[in-house]
Amino acid sequence: GIKKSVDLMLTLFPFEADFYQKHKVPVQYVGHPLADQIDLEQNNLQLRQAWDYAVTDKIIAVLPGSRGGELTHIAPELIRAMKSIHQQLPEVKFITPLVNAARQKQFEQLLQQELGDQLESFPWRRIQGNSHEAMALADCVVLASGTATLEAMLLKKPMVVVYKWAELTHRIIAPLVKSRFVALPNVLANQLLVPELIQQNCTSEKITAALLEQLNRANQEFLQQDFLTLHQQLRKNASESAAAAIAEVIDHA
C-alpha cells in the first residue's frame, strides 16, 4: 500500500507522523500552514471595532457546520442553546458565519421556527464566510467538529465542540473511530482540553451549560497556555519545510 508507493510522507500534525513511523513509512512532520499564518498572540480590539462591537461586549461565535446534513442535525440544538443563553444572559451577542447562501437560508429557517416573533429582537448576526473573523472577535466559540476547531485553538478561543448525525450513520461509523477524542485541540494534546458533545450528548441543555462555563473561563490562563504550546508545536514554517523535504527526496532520487 502506502509504504510501497511513497518515498516520503509529509504530515501536518505530529500524531500523523507517529502513526506512519509505527508502520515503518518514511515520514517527516512539517507543521501546519495555519499555525504559521496566525499570530501566536491575538489582539482583536480593532477587529471588534470594524464589526461595530464594543470591547466589553460578550460575543459567542456559532458555527453549525458547512454541509446541509450537519445543519439538519446540529443547528436546532445550537439554536435552542442560543435561546436559553439569551434568557439567562440577555447581554450576550451571537454571530454565525455561514459558508454560502443555501446554508444561510437553512439556518435562518431553523431560527425562525424556534424563535418566531422573537427573532427580530434577538441579538444575532449572520455573515457569509469570514469564519476566521467571527471566531477571532468572539469571547468563545461553539462549533461542529472539523478543521475549524484547529483555527479556534490557534486563535486561543475557549470552545465547545459538537457533532451529531443520523442514528444509523452513527451506528455504522462509531465502531470505526479509534481516537479517544474528535476535536483537534484534544487530539493534539491527548487530553480533554475542550468539551466535546457528540451524538446523544449534543443537546441544547448540555451545550448551554458548557458554553456558559467556557464564557466564564474565557480569561483563565491555563487554557490559553495549553493552546499556545500546541500552536508553537505546529509552527514549523510548514511550506518551506515541505519544499525542503521534497527537494531532498528529488536530489537523492
Tens of pLDDT, residues 35-72: 989 999 888 889 999 999 999 999 999 999 888 888 99
Task: Label residue 157 by pLDDT band (50, 70, 90).
Answer: very high
Per the CB < 8 A criterion, the answer to whether 31 and 235 are in contact is yes
Which residues are bridge partners to 60 per DSSP? 94, 140
The one-character DSSP state at 61 is E
Cell of 12: 501536518
Average pLDDT score over residue span 230-239: 84
| Phi and psi, residue 185, nearest 5° | -55, -40
pLDDT exceeds 90 at position 226: yes
Q: So what's the pLDDT on residue 1?
A: 53
CA pair distance 226, 33, nearest whole angstrom: 19
Q: So what's the pLDDT on residue 60?
A: 98
pLDDT exceeds 80 at position 176: no
**Parallel, antiparallel, or unpaired for β 9-11 and 159-163?**
unpaired
Sole residue written with cell 482540553? 193
Task: Label residue 123 by pLDDT band (50, 70, 90).
Answer: very high
Average pLDDT score over residue span 168-183: 65
